[in-house]
Amino acid sequence: MMRTRPLKVALLGCGVVGSEVTRIMTTHADDLTQRIGAPVELVGIAVRRPDRVREGVPQELITTDATALVKRGDIDVVIEVIGGIEPARSLITTAFEHGASVVSANKALLAQDGAALHAAAEQHGVDLYYEAAVAGAIPLVRPLRESLAGDRVNRVLGIVNGTTNFILDKMDSSGAGYSEALDEATALGYAEADPTADVEGFDAAAKAAILAGIAFHTRVRLDDVHREGMTEVTAADFASAKQMGCTIKLLAICERAADGKSVSARVHPAMIPLTHPLASVREAYNAVFIEADAAGQLMFYGPGAGGAPTASAVLGDLVAVCRNKVAEATGPGESAYTRLPVSAMGEVVTRYHISLDVADKPGVLAQVATVFAEHGVSIDTVRQQGKDGEASLVVVTHRATDAALSATVEALRKLDTVRDVASIMRVEGE
């Protein structure tokens, strides 16, 4: 039976995403009613700049008092798309206290305070959904939290930032340098005026924390995620990658240890084989590769940002939360029963590609190989080129801990025959 009383929705923020949410709620109102089993009514939109022109947004719904809006008491669902830590955190907890469920796209807040927000939602018997916080329109949170709930996820490997993927793709396909590729990304609107959050990996790290927490049923905060940016990646790195049959991507990697007793989460540039599905992800697209015991290998692909794709994820959550309201139930909350420790980066095992500038004379390779052996790092392949007394030596290792590799590099720097450690890059996706 269709419920006639509408579910009332408040929207916090009306920028690119919020405007699209408003448009879809208006144009698809009848469809949303049928899917939910009750009509939904947008009753208020909180913004900072009320005089800004927002095409298709009813001016009578605009308010600058977000706190009063979430305190109304008759709000069923609050959609938060303002971002940042405060006032978003206070507004969400206030919404919970007044009986409203929350749909959020706030990756930074969820990565930092997800556990506390989940606890507050549970305390007040409401929902907290956040599909849009991880990869725009790509469904990841719900498949991990629900579809794979009966399976054991071992690894999540993904490209979760469109800006960085666009830049690296251009460097790979055209031979452009980092600055040139960044300028093109900025001109096309893929990069912000200040691209730090993207190119230094902060955005991807927040998403990695959220994904690791869901995948491994343990609490992973932003501070637990090892983060390296991509600003030091060069055209020479891509040339080396091509010689190995690889390309370079900025990856978010969440892994369960082989013994199952710990997990790790990290973001950094890495070489991946051209045969790996993630290698073919071009332009500003995102993709996430999941490895599970029973399901095997799964890949999710699509636009990871933008107004319409992100709004699609927000509306999907809105439908789910509203259905729960109609059924007088709540959906799955936080699952952190495993309480697994998060390994430091030094304990993480992976392969490495190291490029050395060395003296072109006999015995150098033997010296370098000895240093690797002394630190327990096994060499897979070596490539050497020399000319006019100078040479380059490229070493690809077998799997080793980051701590062992770091000690090896420090020892290499002390050799008189090693002029410079030109670059170090991890190799993933074997």
Give the closest residue to 250 by CA, choosing from 235, 264, 263, 231.
Answer: 231
Structure confidence at residue 63 (pLDDT)? 97
Which tens digits make up the pLDDT trace of 165-205?
999 999 999 999 999 999 999 998 889 899 999 999 999 99
Whether residue 314 is predicted with pLDDT greater than 80 in this model: the reply is yes
Q: Output the average pLDDT for the chain.
A: 95
Structure confidence at residue 361 (pLDDT)? 85
Distance from chain centroid for Cα 1: 40
Q: What's the rounded mean pLDDT across residues 338-362?
A: 94
Structure confidence at residue 391 (pLDDT)? 86
Residue identified by tokens 């305190």 is 71
Q: What's the rounded mean pLDDT across residues 245-270?
A: 97
Structure confidence at residue 360 (pLDDT)? 86
Structure confidence at residue 259 (pLDDT)? 94
Are 126 and 330 spatial neighbours (Cβ–Cβ below 8 Å)? yes
Structure confidence at residue 388 (pLDDT)? 62
Q: Give dist(CA 7, CA 101) in Å, integer.
A: 11
Which tens digits make up the pLDDT trace of 284-300?
999 999 999 999 999 99
Which helix (H) or strand (E) segment holds residue 158: the answer is strand 153-159
User: What band does 386 get if pLDDT is binned at 50, 70 and 90?
Assistant: low
Is the pLDDT higher at 429 or at 88?
A: 88
**Cα→Cα distances 200→250, 296, 302, 340, Å:** 10, 31, 22, 27
User: Catalytic annotation on 207?
Assistant: yes
Structure confidence at residue 55 (pLDDT)? 85
Percent of the chain with pLDDT over 70: 99
Q: What's the rounded mean pLDDT across residues 402-408?
A: 96
pTM of this structure: 0.94
From the candidates 8, 170, 207, 249, give the one annotated as an active-site residue.
207
Are 42 and 24 spatial neighbours (Cβ–Cβ below 8 Å)? no
Q: Give dist(CA 136, CA 316) in Å, integer.
A: 11
Q: What's the rounded mean pLDDT across residues 384-406?
A: 87
Whether residue 385 is predicted with pLDDT greater than 90 in this model: the reply is no
User: What band does 384 get if pLDDT is binned at 50, 70 and 90?
Assistant: confident
User: What band does 1 get if pLDDT is binned at 50, 70 and 90?
Assistant: low
Q: Give dist(CA 257, CA 216) in Å, integer.
A: 11
Q: Give dist(CA 97, CA 120) in Å, integer.
A: 8
Lowest-confidence segment of 101-115, 251-265, 267-281, 353-367 by average pLDDT:
353-367
Which tens digits make up the pLDDT trace of 119-169?
999 999 999 999 999 988 899 999 999 999 999 999 999 999 999 999 999
Q: Give dist(CA 258, CA 254) in Å, integer.
A: 13
Residue identified by tokens 């069923």 is 76
Structure confidence at residue 387 (pLDDT)? 61
Which tens digits make up the pLDDT trace of 31-77?
999 999 999 999 999 999 998 888 889 999 999 999 999 999 999 99
Are 402 and 348 spatial neighbours (Cβ–Cβ below 8 Å)? yes
